[in-house]
Structure 1
Amino acid sequence: MQILHTVDELRAWSRGLRCKGAGMIGLVPTMGALHEGHASLIRAAEQQCRGRVAVSIFVNPTQFGPNEDFARYPRTFGADCEIAERAGANVIFAPGVEEMYPAGAATFVDVEGLSERLDGQSRPGHFRGVATVVAKLLIAAEPDLAFFGQKDAAQVAVLRKLVADLRLGTRLVVCPIVREPDGLAMSSRNVYLSAEERKQALALCRAVRCVEQMRSNGQRAAPSLVEAARKIFAEEPAVRVDYVELVNWETLLPTNTAGPGTLFAVAAWVGDTRLIDNTILK
């Protein structure tokens, strides 16, 4: 497995494969602190892009707000490389901040409208940072496929719009949420939780499961589904709800009815840790 540090190296790797007539090239963008959820994305990429999978590891400063956890975000590069290699990565792209944001850089990508919804409403500028860094990664790697987790469903909506609007040649592949045995969605930020907070955090997945069950029983009215989820959160008063929403997954706008493909999404603070979870209703 190669470790690359510059955009020129990553682009040369990708274009070298194309010159040889290789098959599809896959990219798995991450911020490191890899866990089984990331590994599942890398395995999915390996299944479709055998021998041609790049994993980026870059803690992107522009998607963190002034009072967020950029400084303490887990950085476990050695362990990340081991996980990525076992899962099937062929290349690790690990640029420095100055490589992704050269001195004097003044160009950013803003997906208007979508970027202000769900997580974007409570984290102003977050999706601007995400869209900018992902655009840079797609331009650098020129992949056929880029793999993302459904846990970041709002991010996926923003990036789908970005790819469509800029007419990029990459197709986004969305992989299922990977959960801990007790149901908590895997997240690099789970390591922040104390034992007590870990129990409280299960309110997120309980709310998601409650809505899934209600929908399977025939309930389609958004107010009823949202109210039931909020009652779940009310059972954990230490958990501070950010949002509980039923939205169209393409526009991230609220919907009154849970139709096929509707996104039910939640976000909440557990102690000092903000967590998210969701489901795509059938």
Structure 2
Amino acid sequence: MNSLIRTAALAMGTFAAAVFASAAAHAEMGQPSPWQINLQAAATPVMEKIHGFNSLLLWIITLIVLFVLVLLVVVVVRFNERSNPVPSKTSHNTMIEVAWTVLPVMILVLIAIPSFRLLHLELNIPKPDLTVKVTGHQWYWSYEYPDNGGFGFDSYMVPEKDLKAGQPRLLAVDNEVVVPVNKNIRIQVTAADVIHSFAMPSFGVKIDALPGRLNESWFKVEREGVYYGQCSELCGRDHAFMPIAVRAVSEKDFEAWLAQAKAKFASAADAAGKLAEAAPAR
């Protein structure tokens, strides 16, 4: 019995150490951290709920594993040939059969209730303060702001040789998506060629971008900063080189960026249109 207690204590100690280590691994928000073993730190209410649901499942799984471990040890110790030379002839036990049917059902119901609440939170998009249309291409993203004049821009990964101080490799982009903090941001996601997947771990957002279909999701960033994601669908040769970068700023800074972006990207679109008109027909 003492050995059982020591085994259970060791398992719980290992579990607690893993939890504390994962919390310490969140040195940076919005991108992976060295030795990270848990989800990225939450930057939105949805991701906070995902963290809570993940922790609930981790406790449930740990308790189930410890319970099964104790049962196995009891069986090995009490019912081996030396300790129990005359085995029992019992073939059925109604109480045990009812228990191992009812308990799993109760556990699944316990898991289902917060799971459905989380799904409702993710899928029930609140009234948006801003809409951003996202289009996946091979192998880059393009973004449009239909609520603010409909301007748009393409976003490509910054090559490693061009990275500036503080820009993460394989995640930094030339044109970041800029959104205000504490606002409901609706994203409309589609694709121009093949299936992509728009995934932002710190936001709790992962939604497929399908050609000919417009999917929707949402997020509300609660802290200023730069957050990174990637395409999570195997979409072709350069699948690993189409990152996502979202910069969350104050409302004042967002308005300033908006004015600059309208002028910058409208001028770029006009120049591209004139170049296309001037090109000789084939």
TM-score of the alignment, normalized to the shorter chain, above 0.5: no
TM-score by length of 2: 0.23
TM-score by length of 1: 0.23
Structure possessing the higher radius of gyration over alpha carbons: 2
